Amino acid sequence: MNPDQFIQELEKHNLQVSDKQKKQFETYFKELVAANEHVNLTRITEKNDVYLKHFFDSITPLFVFNSVFDKGKSLCDVGAGAGFPSLPIKIMYPDLKITIVDSLAKRLTFLKELIDKLGLSDVELVHGRAEDVGQNKLYREKFDLVTARAVANMTVLSEYCLPLVKKDGYFMALKGPKAESELDDSQKALEVLGGKEIKTIELVLPNSDEERTLILVQKVKTTPKKYPRQAGTPRRKPIH
- Residues forming the annotated binding site for S-adenosyl-L-methionine? 79, 84, 130-131, 149
SS3 of 99-136: the string is EEEECCHHHHHHHHHHHHHHCCCCEEEEECCHHHHHCC
- Counting every residue written for the chain, the total comes to 240
Annotated binding-site positions: 79, 84, 130-131, 149
Contact call for residues 215 and 200 (beta carbons, < 8 A): yes
Q: b/e string for 107-122 if b means 16 or more Cβ within 10 A?
A: bbebbeebbeebebee
DSSP calls for 151-209: SS-HHHHHHHHGGGEEEEEEEEEEE-S--HHHHHHTHHHHHHHTEEEEEEEEEE-TTS-
Q: Which residues, including other chains, have CB under 8 Å from residue 125's CB and lie 6 or more apart? A: 99, 100, 102, 108, 111, 112, 115
Partners of 102 in the β-ladder = 127
Contact call for residues 194 and 169 (beta carbons, < 8 A): no
CA 175 remoteness from chain centre: 10
Q: How many CB atoms are closer than 10 A to CB 39?
A: 13
